[in-house]
Structure 1
């Protein structure tokens, strides 16, 4: 299938800054992906406005309208599959997904997490890194599996931690790198360069290390 045919559905819950980075990357002609739709579980998510401004179809599926996680996820699968995407991108989608959902999109479901996985899975990653006296921090793009924040890594970006950093300082530095590596990972997938197989994630046919492709601040 041609790379340009790679349709993407993006799931959001909030401001959508990583969505915007992907929109900008595609608009600049640097990415052959095509965002077919943006779906949010919150009607007030600002990312919906970002999508609409870019002429992208949006949908709202309020999780509070469903009796349990499984019924919401079934409805979400139906909504996503209506756009027939090759890739589903989680961009600040604040829902824990059921095993059925994850298995349905195995190998075509990406997430970004604000830490150098496997360190600091879950929430409050910046505070935890500072509290532990870490010298570096960062973000990770990974394929989603049933293990929370535990799927095979595609790419990580490293940022230094400097004396006097606050969690907000660190968050801003990490966000800048998120906006760099998420479009990159999506582009690799759209170009057919990155894939998930039984051994793990591979780039250009070569199995990636456990940390994925690691980028540092001075890397281009």
Structure 2
């Protein structure tokens, strides 16, 4: 039996993925425990979700710092005060400095609303529809210095319907995010998931270029 894995979540918005984790890890036997939620926005609704669950919260306003490096250094101090084994980006709308990413090498996860490496960056649902793609989805990956890069851990696929709008597509992708992000965190907390030199490892086996793939339902 592993010790409980302490997790710090960074977010900037509503905290839908945070809520999915809170719901997933609320039992006393859970391998993961969310120690703190940190946001760069005081009005982020995710902070409210954390408070409602009895989780420590911190706000670090990026506009109060002279540039990205200074903000990231202060953020590292805040995170490390909670001694986390894992740091989870859940809609944290900041591009992180190389120093920050290196500091948490192998213990920093992100989720992105596309089937990476497709559609890095913003407006993924709109871009999928404009391209006429048959499939869309979401990806959990280890964070590296490449934006929305890093070895893939798990992807889930959704079929694009002819009637879809960016809004309906986003809704279905969010539902998948809320399934696969807690799953990836649980794997890490159980000691099953790690970052090796060649990529992400699950149960000691190198995951393929798409990570663990959950096909369209």
Tell me what 1:125 maps to: 124
Tell me what 1:57 maps to: 56
TM-score (normalised: structure 2):
0.98
- Give 1:212 deviation, angstroms: 0.2
Is contact 2:4–2:30 with CA below 8 Å preserved after alignment?
no
Count of aligned pairs:
217
Which string of whole-angstrom CA distances, capped at 9 and with x for unpartnered residues, describes residues 154-210 of structure 1?
000000001121000100000000000000000000000010011110100000000
2-side partners of 1:39 and 1:55: how far apart?
A: 14
Tell me what 1:41 maps to: 40
Which string of whole-angstrom CA distances, capped at 9 and with x for unpartnered residues, describes residues 111-134 of structure 1?
000000000000000000000000
3-state SS of paired residue (2:174): helix
Tell me what 1:74 maps to: 73
Tell me what 1:201 maps to: 200
2-side partners of 1:208 and 1:96: how far apart?
A: 26
Tell me what 1:9 maps to: 8
1-side partners of 2:29 and 2:150: how far apart?
A: 26
Gaps of 5+ in 2: none
Residues 1-220 of structure 1: pairs in structure 2 closer than 5 A: 3-28=2-27, 31-218=30-217
Which string of whole-angstrom CA distances, capped at 9 and with x for unpartnered residues, describes residues 86-123 of structure 1?
00000000000000000000000000000000000000
Gaps of 5+ in 1: none
- Give 1:5 deviation, angstroms: 2.1
| Structure 1 range deviating more: 73-82 or 209-218 | 209-218
TM-score (normalised: structure 1):
0.96
Is contact 1:3–1:33 with CA below 8 Å preserved after alignment?
no
- Give 1:30 deviation, angstroms: 7.6
